[in-house]
Amino acid sequence: MGETPTESELLSLFQFSLEMLCIAGGDGFFKRVNPAFQRILGYSSKELLSRPFLEFVHPEDQRKTAHELSKLVKGVPTIHFENRYRCRDGSYRWLSWTAMPQENGNRIYAVADDVTDQKQVEVELFASEKRYRQLLESITSYTYSLEIRDGVAQSTSHSAGCLAATGYSPEDFAADPYLWINMVHPDDRDSVRKHASQALLRGEKEPIEHRILHHNGSIRWVRHQIVSHYDPEGKLVRNDGVIQDITERRLSEQRFRLLFEFAPDAMVVVDGEGQILLVNSQTEKIFGYTRDELIGQTVELLVPDRLRERHVADRAEYAAKPRSRMMGMHPSLSGLRKDGSEFSAEIALCPIETDTGMLVYTAIRDVTDRTRAEKILQENRAQLLAAQKIQEHLLPNNPPILPGFDIAGSLYPAEFAAGDHFDFLTMPDHCLGVVVADVAGHGVGPAILMASTHAYLHSLSATSTAVNEILFHLNCIVIEETEPDRFVTVFLARLDPLARTLVYSSAGHPNAFIIDRLGNVSAVLSSTSFPIGVVPDIQFPASDPIPLQPGDIALLFTDGLVESTSVQGDQFGQDRVIEVTSRYREENASRIIEALSEAVKEFSHGVKLNDDVTIVVIKVNPGD
């Protein structure tokens, strides 16, 4: 027995050991670490002791490390537990731990080995093995030799490639003389037996393609080619076979057939003479012929009589200089159905060179519905253009000049033709009428209604300054002369520059606001009745005169302003309208409108306007 080491000797061993030694607590902190810890991880002893050791562990390893600590606290030793520790330079080292708990898990004595280099070797070895497996898996063919004597098979040998192609080794084939036929798919065995028998009697045969059952249970397609060898007397003495895995090619062909068959267009394959070789189901549906009726016919069968002679000439010209033609890159043609009816068509052509000559893949698209839709669209565009011209003609060219006031208005259409309108009316007694209106719908009908409303308002305001009477008479005319589903919201104000007052009547229009020189809302101008064109003989009460003070801003708008939406679907809302107007209250009327428009664009982040936006600003000059 040797002498028991002294405490100083144990301390020297702890200090000078090349292995990482530590004492830890069940609370997850190191209590003591030796210099090897500092050397390998790069931290000072103080840094390692002041933080929970899980903070140094790789995030992906923290959970299993915490689980291992819980076992140690329960008294279960750790043997060769591996995790990654972060070094001071940000890199990670793999450590392999052996630990022994003491004092009911409150004290843990542990040794860690740096196994980073070993791990790297394992990774490289795994990568090398993976590349080797991929190389084996890339082998798609193998050979075999069948020795023959007097027409009877004697022995067969297989190359090593059979393992990757079939999953069976040369030894498997040697051990089971019937494996070559047993691995053939049951549905293909008869044809393979017949092919093999004929090759055994007569020698070299045309290649055969069939399925095999791979050792892993998958079904593979192979191409079987036989090359025969004869002795000087002409007797067959050996057949060499090449079996090639063609599964990917078969799958590609299958995918092509599916794409061809279920293409949304009629697909017709013709040879260089224009003879139809292949069609899909959409061809049958569009033209009304069955496949059997089409195969073998010339493609001119599908062309109207009046176009056939020209089509034959075009086809000959194309055959002399074949090239791909995409849909829409050539004039539209007409197709002829079996029942004699015609339809508008577009075609795409793609020439393919094959061993037997050029084939042309033709896609034929029935564009009857699209042609009809384009005609309707053109008509709608003409209507919208007319509506736009009407609206442009109705809008005022310039803001009115009214002493003591700064007035401006703008319309921002959501679509090609807007449903909003604003106007300035000359009234008796030097008053100014201000109109903001929103007609339901878009297009020529609403534009005509707005034109009528515009004309009636100008006519009525020329003889009256009573906004309630003007809207009453306007409502009677609109109900009598327009369709029941047409209506207009109208805000009509009379601005008296001498008395500096505003009187309004609102027919179902959104709230307007008066904002004072300090930026506060001093009045809300809410609706006083139903929209124009909804209820007959209804009154449109007018407000009492509203005094306007220097710096006041009357803000009128359509609902498109407050209902503009953000990407998240939130609305711009009245509060933002008031806040922007208040912020720019020192600017002129035009700049306030621009600021509101810019704020809506920023809020929506490119989201298209849901509705037209019309804004009118009436500002009382601060110095007056």
All domains of the chain in start order, with CATH? 14-118 (3.30.450.20), 139-251 (3.30.450.20), 262-366 (3.30.450.20), 387-620 (3.60.40.10)
Q: What is the pLDDT of residue 393?
A: 66
14: left (phi over 0), alpha (psi -120 to 50) or beta: alpha
Query: In a 3-state reduction of DSSP, which class is residue 257?
Result: helix
421-435 per-position pLDDT tens digit: 899 999 988 899 999
* Greatest mean pLDDT range, 57-71, 132-146, 406-420: 57-71
What average pLDDT does the segment 115-124 reach?
A: 81
- CA 274, 278, 284, 286 dihedral sign is negative
Closest CA to 594 of 406, 418, 410: 410
Indicate the pLDDT class of residue 206, thresholds 50, 70 and 90. confident
How does pLDDT run across 328-362, given as a tens digit for each residue? 544 457 889 999 998 888 888 888 887 778 888 88
The answer to whether residues 597 and 410 touch, using CB atoms and an 8 Å cutoff, is yes
**How far does CA 377 lie from the centroid of its chain?**
28
Least confident stretch, 55-59, 311-315, 514-518, 553-557? 311-315
DSSP, res 542: P
Q: Tens digit of pLDDT for each residue in 262-282?
A: 778 888 999 988 899 989 988
Whether the predicted pLDDT of 593 surpasses 80? yes
Cα–Cα distance between 440 and 449 in angstroms, integer?
10
Summarised one tens digit per residue, pLDDT across range 370-399 is: 767 666 656 566 555 655 665 666 778 888
pLDDT tens track for 215-263: 999 999 999 888 888 888 888 888 888 888 888 888 777 777 777 777 7
pLDDT bucket at 184, cuts 50 / 70 / 90: very high
Q: Counting every residue, how long is the chain?
A: 624
d(CA 111, CA 95): 10
Encoded amino acid at 289, one letter: Y
Closest CA to 214 of 157, 170, 165, 156: 165
Contact yes or no for 416/613 (Cβ under 8 A):
no
Contact between 551 and 516 under an 8 Å Cβ cutoff? The reply is: yes
Q: What is the pLDDT of residues 438-472, one digit of tens each?
A: 988 665 667 777 878 888 898 899 889 999 999 99
> For position 54, what pLDDT does the model report?
94
CA angle 614, 616, 622 (to 5 degrees): 155
